[in-house]
Structure 1
Amino acid sequence: MYLTKETKAELFKKYGGKSENTGSTEGQIALFTHRINHLTQHLKNNQKDFNTERSLVRLVGKRRSLLDYLKNKDIVKYRELIKELNIRK
Protein backbone atom coordinates (compact mmCIF):
# COMPACT_ATOMS: atom_id res chain seq x y z
CA MET A 1 0.00 0.00 0.00
CA TYR A 2 1.27 3.45 -0.86
CA LEU A 3 0.14 5.15 2.35
CA THR A 4 1.46 3.29 5.36
CA LYS A 5 1.03 4.23 8.98
CA GLU A 6 4.66 5.36 9.13
CA THR A 7 4.33 7.56 6.03
CA LYS A 8 1.25 9.22 7.48
CA ALA A 9 2.95 9.82 10.84
CA GLU A 10 5.99 11.26 9.05
CA LEU A 11 3.84 13.68 7.04
CA PHE A 12 1.99 14.90 10.13
CA LYS A 13 5.24 15.21 12.08
CA LYS A 14 6.84 17.30 9.34
CA TYR A 15 3.90 19.58 8.61
CA GLY A 16 1.64 19.32 11.66
CA GLY A 17 4.23 19.62 14.42
CA LYS A 18 3.68 16.21 16.04
CA SER A 19 2.75 12.86 14.57
CA GLU A 20 -0.36 12.80 16.78
CA ASN A 21 -1.53 16.20 15.50
CA THR A 22 -3.64 14.77 12.68
CA GLY A 23 -6.17 17.61 12.74
CA SER A 24 -3.83 20.43 11.79
CA THR A 25 -4.65 22.19 8.56
CA GLU A 26 -1.07 21.98 7.29
CA GLY A 27 -0.89 18.25 7.98
CA GLN A 28 -4.21 17.60 6.25
CA ILE A 29 -3.08 19.56 3.18
CA ALA A 30 0.20 17.62 3.07
CA LEU A 31 -1.67 14.31 3.31
CA PHE A 32 -4.09 15.30 0.54
CA THR A 33 -1.15 16.39 -1.62
CA HIS A 34 0.55 13.03 -1.11
CA ARG A 35 -2.66 11.20 -2.07
CA ILE A 36 -3.25 13.49 -5.08
CA ASN A 37 0.26 12.83 -6.38
CA HIS A 38 -0.28 9.07 -6.05
CA LEU A 39 -3.65 9.16 -7.83
CA THR A 40 -2.21 11.32 -10.60
CA GLN A 41 0.50 8.73 -11.26
CA HIS A 42 -2.13 5.98 -11.24
CA LEU A 43 -4.26 7.85 -13.78
CA LYS A 44 -1.29 8.29 -16.12
CA ASN A 45 -1.16 4.50 -16.42
CA ASN A 46 -4.94 3.89 -16.32
CA GLN A 47 -6.66 6.61 -18.32
CA LYS A 48 -10.09 4.94 -18.24
CA ASP A 49 -10.32 4.59 -14.45
CA PHE A 50 -13.15 7.07 -13.98
CA ASN A 51 -13.78 6.25 -10.31
CA THR A 52 -10.23 7.23 -9.45
CA GLU A 53 -10.59 10.36 -11.55
CA ARG A 54 -13.69 11.33 -9.57
CA SER A 55 -11.88 10.70 -6.30
CA LEU A 56 -8.98 12.83 -7.48
CA VAL A 57 -11.28 15.75 -8.32
CA ARG A 58 -12.93 15.50 -4.88
CA LEU A 59 -9.54 15.45 -3.13
CA VAL A 60 -8.37 18.49 -5.07
CA GLY A 61 -11.55 20.31 -4.02
CA LYS A 62 -11.05 19.40 -0.35
CA ARG A 63 -7.44 20.53 -0.49
CA ARG A 64 -8.47 23.78 -2.19
CA SER A 65 -10.97 24.56 0.56
CA LEU A 66 -8.37 23.85 3.27
CA LEU A 67 -5.87 26.06 1.44
CA ASP A 68 -8.44 28.86 1.27
CA TYR A 69 -9.05 28.50 5.01
CA LEU A 70 -5.32 28.63 5.74
CA LYS A 71 -4.91 31.64 3.45
CA ASN A 72 -7.57 33.56 5.37
CA LYS A 73 -6.19 32.46 8.74
CA ASP A 74 -2.42 32.88 8.23
CA ILE A 75 -1.06 34.07 4.86
CA VAL A 76 2.58 33.45 5.82
CA LYS A 77 2.01 29.77 6.63
CA TYR A 78 -0.03 29.46 3.42
CA ARG A 79 2.82 30.78 1.27
CA GLU A 80 5.41 28.60 3.02
CA LEU A 81 3.29 25.47 2.64
CA ILE A 82 2.62 26.08 -1.05
CA LYS A 83 6.32 26.56 -1.67
CA GLU A 84 7.27 23.42 0.31
CA LEU A 85 4.69 21.16 -1.34
CA ASN A 86 5.17 22.63 -4.84
CA ILE A 87 1.49 23.38 -5.27
CA ARG A 88 0.63 25.62 -8.20
CA LYS A 89 -1.41 28.68 -7.30
Structure 2
Amino acid sequence: MYLTKEVKEEIFAKHGEAKNTGKSEAQIALFTFRINHLTEHLKKNRHDYNTERSLVKLVGKRRSLLDYLKNSEINRYREIIKVLGIRK
Protein backbone atom coordinates (compact mmCIF):
# COMPACT_ATOMS: atom_id res chain seq x y z
CA MET A 1 0.00 0.00 0.00
CA TYR A 2 1.34 3.40 -0.92
CA LEU A 3 -0.08 5.34 2.04
CA THR A 4 1.19 3.66 5.18
CA LYS A 5 0.84 4.92 8.71
CA GLU A 6 4.46 6.09 8.71
CA VAL A 7 4.02 8.11 5.53
CA LYS A 8 0.92 9.82 6.94
CA GLU A 9 2.73 10.62 10.20
CA GLU A 10 5.62 12.10 8.23
CA ILE A 11 3.27 14.30 6.19
CA PHE A 12 1.44 15.49 9.30
CA ALA A 13 4.70 16.19 11.14
CA LYS A 14 6.09 18.17 8.21
CA HIS A 15 3.01 20.26 7.39
CA GLY A 16 1.23 20.51 10.69
CA GLU A 17 1.41 18.98 14.09
CA ALA A 18 1.83 15.29 14.77
CA LYS A 19 -1.31 15.14 16.91
CA ASN A 20 -3.42 17.71 15.04
CA THR A 21 -4.23 15.84 11.84
CA GLY A 22 -7.23 18.04 11.05
CA LYS A 23 -5.18 21.16 10.43
CA SER A 24 -5.88 22.57 6.97
CA GLU A 25 -2.24 22.49 5.85
CA ALA A 26 -1.90 18.85 6.89
CA GLN A 27 -5.06 17.84 5.06
CA ILE A 28 -4.01 19.73 1.93
CA ALA A 29 -0.59 18.06 2.00
CA LEU A 30 -2.19 14.63 2.39
CA PHE A 31 -4.60 15.28 -0.47
CA THR A 32 -1.70 16.47 -2.64
CA PHE A 33 0.24 13.29 -1.92
CA ARG A 34 -2.77 11.16 -2.87
CA ILE A 35 -3.47 13.26 -5.99
CA ASN A 36 0.11 12.83 -7.20
CA HIS A 37 -0.10 9.08 -6.67
CA LEU A 38 -3.41 8.76 -8.52
CA THR A 39 -2.11 10.91 -11.38
CA GLU A 40 0.84 8.57 -11.87
CA HIS A 41 -1.53 5.59 -11.78
CA LEU A 42 -3.76 7.14 -14.43
CA LYS A 43 -0.80 7.79 -16.72
CA LYS A 44 -0.28 4.02 -16.87
CA ASN A 45 -3.97 2.99 -16.77
CA ARG A 46 -5.85 5.55 -18.77
CA HIS A 47 -9.14 3.61 -18.86
CA ASP A 48 -9.50 3.33 -15.07
CA TYR A 49 -12.55 5.55 -14.78
CA ASN A 50 -13.21 4.84 -11.09
CA THR A 51 -9.79 6.16 -10.18
CA GLU A 52 -10.34 9.14 -12.44
CA ARG A 53 -13.57 9.95 -10.61
CA SER A 54 -11.92 9.68 -7.19
CA LEU A 55 -9.09 11.91 -8.42
CA VAL A 56 -11.58 14.59 -9.48
CA LYS A 57 -13.30 14.37 -6.09
CA LEU A 58 -9.96 14.71 -4.26
CA VAL A 59 -9.02 17.74 -6.32
CA GLY A 60 -12.36 19.32 -5.42
CA LYS A 61 -11.86 18.65 -1.72
CA ARG A 62 -8.39 20.14 -1.83
CA ARG A 63 -9.66 23.16 -3.74
CA SER A 64 -12.36 23.83 -1.16
CA LEU A 65 -9.81 23.58 1.67
CA LEU A 66 -7.51 25.96 -0.20
CA ASP A 67 -10.39 28.39 -0.74
CA TYR A 68 -11.22 28.27 2.97
CA LEU A 69 -7.59 28.92 3.89
CA LYS A 70 -7.34 31.73 1.35
CA ASN A 71 -10.41 33.48 2.76
CA SER A 72 -9.48 33.02 6.42
CA GLU A 73 -5.66 33.38 6.54
CA ILE A 74 -3.97 34.47 3.33
CA ASN A 75 -0.40 34.09 4.66
CA ARG A 76 -0.90 30.41 5.54
CA TYR A 77 -2.46 29.91 2.09
CA ARG A 78 0.51 31.47 0.29
CA GLU A 79 2.97 29.43 2.35
CA ILE A 80 1.30 26.07 1.67
CA ILE A 81 0.99 26.87 -2.05
CA LYS A 82 4.70 27.63 -2.20
CA VAL A 83 5.79 24.58 -0.19
CA LEU A 84 3.67 22.06 -2.11
CA GLY A 85 4.18 23.68 -5.51
CA ILE A 86 0.48 23.91 -6.30
CA ARG A 87 -0.51 26.23 -9.11
CA LYS A 88 -2.78 29.21 -8.42
Scaled to the shorter chain, the TM-score interval is: over 0.9
Matched residue, 2:70: 71
| Distance (Å, rounded) in 2 between the aligned partners of 1:4 and 1:42 | 17
Query: Runs ≥4 in structure 1, deviation > 6 angstroms?
Result: none
Q: Which amino acid aligns with 1:69?
A: Y
Aligned residue runs from structure 1 range 48-87, under 5 A: 48-87=47-86
C-alpha displacement at 1:19, in angstroms?
1.4
CA-CA distance at 1:5 after TM superposition: 0.3
Partner of 1:14: 14
Counterparts of 1:45 and 1:71 in 2: how far apart (Å)? 34
Rounded Cα–Cα distance in structure 1 between residues aligned with 2:52 and 2:5: 24
Structure 2 Cα separation of the partners of residues 9 and 22 of structure 1: 9
> 1:20 & 1:44 partners in 2: Cα distance?
34
Count how many residue pairs are aligned between Structure 1 and Structure 2: 88
Give the RMSD, CA atoms, in angstroms: 0.5
**Residues 11, 31 of structure 1: 8 Å contact kept:** yes
CA distance in 2, matches of 1:54, 1:79: 28
Q: Which whole-Å deviations, capped at 9, do the CAs of 1:38-66 have from their partners, x for residues lacking one? A: 00000000000000000000000000000
TM-score scaled by length of structure 1: 0.97
8 Å contact kept, 1:70–1:77: yes
Please give the alpha-carbon distance, in whole angstroms, between the structure 1 residues aligned to 2:43 and 2:70. Answer: 31
Return the letter of the residue paired with 1:87.
Answer: I
Stretches of structure 1 lacking an aligned partner (at least 5 in a row): none
Please give the secondary structure, in 1, of the residue aligned with 2:77.
helix
What's the % identity of the aligned pairs? Answer: 72
